[in-house]
Every structure is written in C-alpha cells, then in structure tokens.
C-alpha cells in the first residue's frame, strides 16, 4: 500500500501497486510477471530495447547495399 513507502515517493492518485524500493536482479526479473503501476511503461521500453537493434541493423545493411550498389 502507499503507506509502506516514503512520503517523497507517494502519489495521491496512485492508491496501490507500488513496487518495493530495494531489490536484487532476481527480484526485478520476477516482478516483470505481475501488474503494478508501471507495467505498461516497463514493457514498452523493454520491447523497444529488444526490437531496436535488429531493425537498426537491417536498415543499415539495406542502406549500405543501396548506396554501394551491391546486393
């Protein structure tokens, strides 16, 4: 609940779903599997960071071939 966190982290419009303050890497990975007040934010950034490198690489390879005149 919101009373379990420090005053400076509280938001009067968020009543529940706060994530615990301290966690190790294993706890962070486990938290990806349940809903909290930042689930959408976490997943949109995670998906983007996974998809960006392959798309950027593919675009780079295509542009190199296009401008170098090779296939």
pLDDT in tens, 16-69: 767 666 778 888 888 788 887 788 888 999 999 999 999 999 999 999 988 887
Q: Which helix (H) or strand (E) holds 30?
A: helix 25-31
pTM reported for the whole predicted model:
0.53
Burial track 1-32 (b if 16+ CB lie within 10 A, e otherwise): eeeeeeeeeeeeeeeeebbeeeeeeeeeeebe
Who has greater pLDDT, 71 or 10?
Answer: 10
| pLDDT exceeds 60 at position 1 | no
């Amino acid at each position: 609940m919101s009373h379990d966190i420090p005053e400076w982290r509280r938001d009067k419009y968020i009543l529940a779903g706060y994530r615990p303050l301290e966690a190790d890497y294993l706890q962070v990975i486990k938290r990806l599997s349940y809903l909290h007040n930042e689930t959408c934010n976490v997943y949109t950034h995670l998906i983007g960071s996974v998809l960006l490198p392959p798309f950027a690489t593919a675009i780079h390879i295509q542009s190199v071939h296009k401008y170098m005149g090779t296939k």
